[in-house]
Amino acid sequence: MSAAFPPHRGPVMSDVAARAGVSHQTVSRVLNGHPHVSATTRTRVLAAIAELGYRRNLSARVLATGRSNVIGVVAQNTTLYGPSSMVQAIGEAALGADLSLTVGHVAGYDATAASRRIVERLVQQGAAGLVFIAPVDAAAEAMRLVPEGIPIVTVDGLPEWQVANVSVDQYTGGLLATRHLLEAGHRTVWHVAGPEQWHGSRAREDGWRAALAEVGAVAPPMARAGWSAASGYQCGRMLARIPDCTAIFAANDHVALGIMRAITEQGRRVPDDVSIIGFDDVPEAGYFHPALTTIRQEFGDVGRQALRLLLDQLATGVKSAESALVEPLLIPRDTVAAPERKPS
Amino acid sequence: MSAAFPPHRGPVMSDVAARAGVSHQTVSRVLNGHPHVSATTRTRVLAAIAELGYRRNLSARVLATGRSNVIGVVAQNTTLYGPSSMVQAIGEAALGADLSLTVGHVAGYDATAASRRIVERLVQQGAAGLVFIAPVDAAAEAMRLVPEGIPIVTVDGLPEWQVANVSVDQYTGGLLATRHLLEAGHRTVWHVAGPEQWHGSRAREDGWRAALAEVGAVAPPMARAGWSAASGYQCGRMLARIPDCTAIFAANDHVALGIMRAITEQGRRVPDDVSIIGFDDVPEAGYFHPALTTIRQEFGDVGRQALRLLLDQLATGVKSAESALVEPLLIPRDTVAAPERKPS
DNA sequence: GGGCGAAATGTGAACGCAAACATGCTTGGC
DNA sequence: GCCAAGCATGTTTGCGTTCACATTTCGCCC
């Protein structure tokens, strides 16, 4: 990166001041909405700004104030539906609050090194606050690099981190899903869990176990998938061969899709032979074949709440560990039915 | 935002200098990898930096140099698979190039106002370059707000914009998809296009028409969907009732999914009665029922190329209008078959 | 109409860094 | 043994903004 663009320097505050016949400080006051500026002066300054096409230099402002209106987001794999929806929601909310977002994209799940660099970056840039989309433990370590004095909000973080957090109540989600299957008449429910490192996976699993315990059902062995249809398919190939397995709670919708495929290939039918329920309610879940019963997570809500929590901290100036829970919702569709009563 | 966090001020360069027993300028030299620093001094400085936990203030650096290593990304709806994959890819590439990314998320498709604000933001922040994920015309207007001297790369932009651009060759994609259906023996191919404002939709449509023209097939009326399964389903409900319609090229995989559902509900079979091909190759496409034949777009490539184009401009210091095309790839699966020869 | 308080505006410094320039030191060639 | 040529380092200045403080202007009351 040897040669370079001419460092772009537009008009500065003193240019505007000269044009409007005032001092640079008055321009600053107008820009920041300070009181004690006469209406006529204000309009003159505003006119000068418009004529010159002046834009205030954010770096200088940050340097002078030690504070920016940029908030950083540390995201895991934003290719996944959940994380990307969340980033989108936070982004929209931020725009509304006149904040801008710097998003650091961590590649892979365990990339602690990448997270560190990103945090480093964000802090150097003078981020006013940080949102960690932290569904995995790896995030916790990177969080420690954040200097005191920069407020943090986690999304899908752990309570023991003692940090403001907002999550979908995945435990309840697991409970809801499992109960729904049980209420349809299944003796027990099998679970294909998501990756172990993800907190959400564990919470859903707990919910599943709790629901089984409620009715005294015995928990069958648990399969472990990734978040992809491909990994769901792998698990499904085993599950499909187990005659007792008539009800499956899948880690998410895509895993459910993979499982359904494996089951169908094995000659069993959904939901007649095997009922299945997903998680997330991706927009296309209702168009799977058959339409997938699932648990909806309101990612948009999560994003907005996260931003609210951050703004609160920014406004009050104190770190909080307040946490918000977003309730999931059961979306009944066509993949859950009563088990066929076999002559047993 | 009245109260506030104490402006976080860590150790500064002169603190490090004092500790290492050198001048702040020497510290700066070490930090920037300048030559003419003795090895012993360098290690002393490095040690001091580590001990103090010093981090250089990026705003000050930007202010002093007039140049930043932040690049801005203006993205449309990052909930969609394509855009989000692209942002992810650009993010990863950027991390490798020691650049950071500020992503502005535009809500909705036509939100020109939002785009303007985002560009405003990005420029104020002193972004060194901008990547516009600009699959719709609305982006062009926002681009005009960017001052001369800031290099731009568009993704899915239009050649007439005279800006460096990288796109998937969607025309060829449309050609490939249509030919594939034609070669399977279908007389003609129906097309459910994506939203009109998206350049990609138009290019795919052109490819479709071209492929039909190649064999002298007449183009049936074209249906128009969004990008969602739901909109695909709506179109599919009509198409399913048209006996002549035996081959459909869908705007993308999700639309294809919706169409398949509509067709199945109507009592027709895929691919026996109707063949269908999608676009994108979302990770779960192979697990749809039946597995979807589709055209893969290598979004990762697109992201990397876009960054390369930007870096080139940054390095040479001249705006270019070079453009790169990423070739799509046909992924044959199970939704395309020969039409049943009816006694006609 | 003199004086007083508030509103309106201006002045100078500081933020943390990098660039340009200045300085002292070492080496080596003749 | 002296000067030139580099190397290693220090000093000063300015980037564009805000902040704390200083100054001017205005309106108003007795």
Task: Verify that A147 and A48 share a domain, yes or no.
Answer: no
pLDDT at A325: 94
Task: Verify that A43 and A114 share a domain, yes or no.
Answer: no
CA of residue A315 to C1' of nucleotide D27, angstroms: 37
**What is d(CA A296, CA A307) in angstroms, rounded to the nearest whole number?**
21
Tell me the nearest-neighbour CA distance from A215 into chain B, angstroms. Answer: 34
Asked if A60 has any chain B CB less than 8 Å from its own CB, the reply is: yes
Higher pLDDT, A332 or B108: A332
**What is d(CA A198, CA A82) in angstroms, rounded to the nearest whole number?**
12
Cα→Cα distances B40→A198, A269, B30, B50, B274, Å: 45, 73, 11, 15, 75
pLDDT at A6: 58
Q: Which residue from A minimizes the CA distance to B151?
A: A5
Token pair, residue A64, equals 């002078």
Q: Which residue from A minimizes the CA distance to B84?
A: A79
DSSP 3-state helix, strand, coil percentages of chain A (rounded to 5)?
45, 15, 40
Strands in A100-105's sheet, in edge-to-edge order, are A100-105, A70-75, A129-133, A152-155, A164-168, A323-326
pLDDT at B7: 58
The H-or-E segment that residue A103 falls in is strand A100-105
| Pick from A103-117, A162-176, B112-126, B273-287: least confident | A103-117
Average pLDDT over chain B reads 88
**What is d(CA A256, CA A233) in angstroms, rounded to the nearest whole number?**
8
Interface of A with B in 110-169 (CB under 8 A): 114, 117-118, 120-126, 128, 147-151
Q: Is residue B7 part of a domain?
A: no
Task: Verify that B177 and B267 share a domain, yes or no.
Answer: yes
Question: Does residue B2 have a pLDDT over 50?
Answer: no
- Per-residue pLDDT tens digits for A281-290: 999 999 999 9
Q: Which amino acid does the sequence have at B251?
A: A
- Per-residue pLDDT tens digits for B176-190: 999 999 999 999 999
CA of residue B62 to C1' of nucleotide C15, angstroms: 13
Nucleotides of D under 7 A from a protein CB: 7-12, 14-20
**What is d(CA B193, CA B49) in angstroms, rounded to the nearest whole number?**
57
Asked if B3 has any chain A CB less than 8 Å from its own CB, the reply is: yes
Q: Is residue B1 part of a domain?
A: no
Asked if B276 and B180 touch (Cβ cutoff 8 Å), the reply is no
**What is d(CA A142, CA A47) in angstroms, rounded to the nearest whole number?**
46
* Chain A neighbors of B124, CB-CB under 8 A: 55-58
Print burial letters for B95-123: b (CB count within 10 Å at least 16), e (below 16): bebebbbbbbbbbebebbebbebbbbbbb
CA of residue A11 to C1' of nucleotide C15, angstroms: 21
Question: Does residue B342 have a pLDDT over 80?
Answer: no
| Pick from A70-79, A110-119, A213-222, B236-245: least confident | A110-119
Q: Is residue A293 part of a domain?
A: yes
Residue A31 belongs to what domain range? 13-56
pLDDT band for position B108 (cuts 50, 70, 90): low
Average pLDDT over chain A reads 88
- Per-residue pLDDT tens digits for A108-127: 545 677 778 788 878 877 78
Q: Which nucleotide is nearest to A13 (CA to C1')?
A: D16
Q: Work out the average pLDDT over A60-83.
A: 83
- Taking CB atoms and an 8 Å limit, are A284 and B228 in contact across chains? yes
Task: Verify that A160 and A304 share a domain, yes or no.
Answer: yes
pLDDT at A111: 64
pLDDT at A319: 84
- Taking CB atoms and an 8 Å limit, are B289 and A289 in contact across chains? yes
Q: Is A162 helix (H, G, I), strand (E, B) or coil?
A: coil
Question: Does residue A183 have a pLDDT over 60?
Answer: yes
- Per-residue pLDDT tens digits for B49-96: 999 988 888 889 888 888 788 888 888 777 888 888 888 888 878 877
Q: Is residue B63 part of a domain?
A: no
Question: Does residue B107 have a pLDDT over 80?
Answer: no
Pick the residue of A67, A123, A146, A284 with the most B CBs within 10 A to test the interface with B by mutation. A284
Task: Verify that B183 and B256 share a domain, yes or no.
Answer: yes
| Pick from A34-38, A104-108, A183-187, B39-43: least confident | A104-108
pLDDT at B153: 94
Backbone φ, ψ for residue B190 (5° rounding): -90, 155
DSSP category for residue A109: S
The strand pair at B329-331 and B294-296 is best described as antiparallel
pLDDT at A2: 36
CA of residue A46 to C1' of nucleotide C3, angstroms: 36
Domain total of chain A = 3
In the beta sheet, which residues pair with residue A168? A326
**What is d(CA A107, CA B216) in angstroms, rounded to the nearest whole number?**
47
Interface of A with B in 307-326 (CB under 8 A): 311, 313-317
Question: Does residue B292 have a pLDDT over 90?
Answer: yes
Pick the residue of B32, B61, B86, B125 with the most A CBs within 10 A to test the interface with A by mutation. B125
* Chain A neighbors of B107, CB-CB under 8 A: 88, 91-92, 95
| Pick from A66-70, A158-162, A195-199: least confident | A66-70
Question: Does residue A7 have a pLDDT over 60?
Answer: no
Tell me the nearest-neighbour CA distance from B304 into chain A, angstroms. Answer: 14
Q: Which residue is nearest to nucleotide C18 (CA to C1')?
A: B64
Task: Verify that B129 and B188 share a domain, yes or no.
Answer: no
Q: Is residue B178 part of a domain?
A: yes
- Taking CB atoms and an 8 Å limit, are A78 and B88 in contact across chains? yes
Task: Verify that A77 and A155 share a domain, yes or no.
Answer: yes
Q: Which amino acid does the sequence have at B62?
A: V
Supply the CATH number for residue A293's domain: 3.40.50.2300
Token pair, residue A9, equals 């320097």
Q: Which residue from A minimizes the CA distance to B5?
A: A317
Q: Work out the average pLDDT over A157-165.
A: 91
- Taking CB atoms and an 8 Å limit, are A257 and B284 in contact across chains? yes
Tell me the nearest-neighbour CA distance from A25 into chain B, angstroms. Answer: 19
**What is d(CA B322, CA B319) in angstroms, rounded to the nearest whole number?**
9
The H-or-E segment that residue A324 falls in is strand A323-326
pLDDT at B297: 93
* Chain B neighbors of A59, CB-CB under 8 A: 58-60, 62-63, 68, 125-126
Task: Verify that A148 and A196 share a domain, yes or no.
Answer: no
Q: Work out the average pLDDT over A298-318.
A: 88
Task: Verify that B133 and B279 share a domain, yes or no.
Answer: no
Q: Work out the average pLDDT over A77-82.
A: 82
Nearest by CB: A63 against B60, B147, B258 = B60
Backbone φ, ψ for residue B209 (5° rounding): -60, -40
Task: Verify that B197 and B283 share a domain, yes or no.
Answer: yes
Q: Is residue A200 part of a domain?
A: yes
Cα→Cα distances A13→A9, A46, B65, B118, B129, Å: 12, 12, 18, 22, 23
Q: Work out the average pLDDT over A95-120.
A: 72
Task: Verify that A105 and A218 share a domain, yes or no.
Answer: no
Q: Work out the average pLDDT over A271-284.
A: 96
pLDDT at B5: 58
Backbone φ, ψ for residue B238 (5° rounding): -75, -55
Pick the residue of B8, B52, B312 with the most A CBs within 10 A to test the interface with A by mutation. B8
pLDDT band for position A1 (cuts 50, 70, 90): very low
Question: Does residue A233 have a pLDDT over 70?
Answer: yes
Task: Verify that A319 and A283 share a domain, yes or no.
Answer: no
Q: Which nucleotide is nearest to B15 (CA to C1')?
A: C16
3-state per-residue secondary structure call for chain B: CCCCCCCCCCCCHHHHHHHHCCCHHHHHHHHCCCCCCCHHHHHHHHHHHHHHCCCCCHHHHHHHHCCCCEEEEEECCCCCHHHHHHHHHHHHHHHHCCCEEEEEECCCCCCHHHHHHHHHHHHHCCCCEEEEECCECHHHHHHCCCCCCCCEEEECCCHHHCCEEEEECHHHHHHHHHHHHHHCCCCCCEEEECCCCEHHHHHHHHHHHHHHHHCCCCCCCCEECCCCHHHHHHHHHHHCCCCCCCEEEECCHHHHHHHHHHHHHCCCCCCCCCEEECCECCCCHHHCCCCCEEEECCHHHHHHHHHHHHHHHHHHCCCCCCEEEECCEEECCCCCCCCCCCCC
- Per-residue pLDDT tens digits for B293-304: 999 999 889 988
| Pick from A68-72, A132-136, A155-159, B2-6: least confident | B2-6
Higher pLDDT, A303 or A115: A303
pLDDT band for position A65 (cuts 50, 70, 90): confident
Q: Is A148 helix (H, G, I), strand (E, B) or coil?
A: coil
Backbone φ, ψ for residue A56 (5° rounding): -75, 145
